[in-house]
Amino acid sequence: MAKKVYVGMSGGVDSSVTAALLKEQGYIVTGVYMKNWTQDFPGFECPWKQDYQDAKRVAVRLGIDFKVFDFQKEYKQKVVDYMIAEYQAGRTPNPDIMCNQEVKFKLFLETALAEGAELIATGHYARTRDGQLLTARNAAKDQTYFLYRVTEAALQKTLFPIGEFKTKAEVRALAKKFGLSTAAKKDSQGICFVGEIGIKEFLQNYVTTEPGAIIDQQGKVIGEHEGAIFYTIGQRHGLNVGGGLPYYVVGKDMKKNEVYVTTDLNDAKLWHTEIPVTDIHWINGPPINQPLQVRTRYRGPLLDCSIDRQGKAWVIKTKDEVRAIAPGQSAVIYSGQQVLGGGVIT
């Protein structure tokens, strides 16, 4: 008997093709637009109306049921408030990871199952097998870095059809073949839920900041920043300190509202072989005697590593030095194609 699957449809080409493929494979498909954010900002219009219309248009084209799940309240609490608090604490959070953990693969999954769905699906570039998370066949688009906090139970109820394709061109060609209006739609940029607005412009709507000193490796004040909250470790652009060698952010003090920079690319504060992590999450249990790799940023290189438990904390040790480790970002642990889990860098 055909299984009922609820597909999270964002209005983009990937989730559109996901719905089309699953219908073609014989599933009883219901498209769901998750209404997570609708607020506009000065100079930036939230694209939700366009995305909703695009998703609905595809559902009509495919002849599938279509619903809207309004998760705005939960999204604000679980994702946006978390992100703002992390920035205020001087860290660099990843809202996409929290969205996947709290909304798409928890709230959406629970709501879909409560309505009678047996499975959910999204347009992520990833694969699953028996509750394991595997990298996508398209390495350039792989999104498993953002999915490492999803649970084994959720993965057993999840389909990622797009993860099997080696190129984005194949996905767009399928969208054209199915006659979907999103076939040529551009991939979204900017913050996951707001559209084209940058993180600085977004935060300025929620936090008040004061200018402060930018201090170089000799302890000399060389410029003024717009608020320490806006700077992250390893950042080079946007410092507005002119002339000579480029400067890189190596630290900041939120209480003093100071940002510390260096022109020395070999500065010890920029390079690490030990990465302390907290809030560790293992999808299928901790690793046991297997080769491990770590990725410390989306599309960052996979580096050979080991991981040790030190009390309640975990420390990831890399053979090669890692540049610009930013507290608040995630270190994700892989073993070949399998994503084992990871934690938040402290």
CA 161/CA 285 separation, integer angstroms? 25
Estimate to the nearest angstrom the gap between the alpha carbon of 135 and the chain centroid: 15
Q: Output the six-digit token pair for 333.
A: 């642990």
On the CB side of 200, CA atoms within 13 Å amount to: 9
Active site residue 99: yes
C-beta of residue 96 within 8 angstroms of C-beta of residue 146: yes
**Tokens 């703002």 belong to residue:** 84
Per-residue buried b or exposed e for 18-35, using 16+ beta carbons within 10 Å of the residue's own CB: bbbbbbeeebbbbbbbbe
Residue of 20, 22, 171, 192 with catalytic role = 192
Q: Shortest CA distance to 324 belongs to which of 217, 233, 216?
A: 233
305 is catalytic: no
Interatomic CA distance for residues 161 and 212, integer angstroms: 49
Catalytic residue, chosen from 80, 99, 117, 283, is 99
Catalytic residue annotation = 99, 192
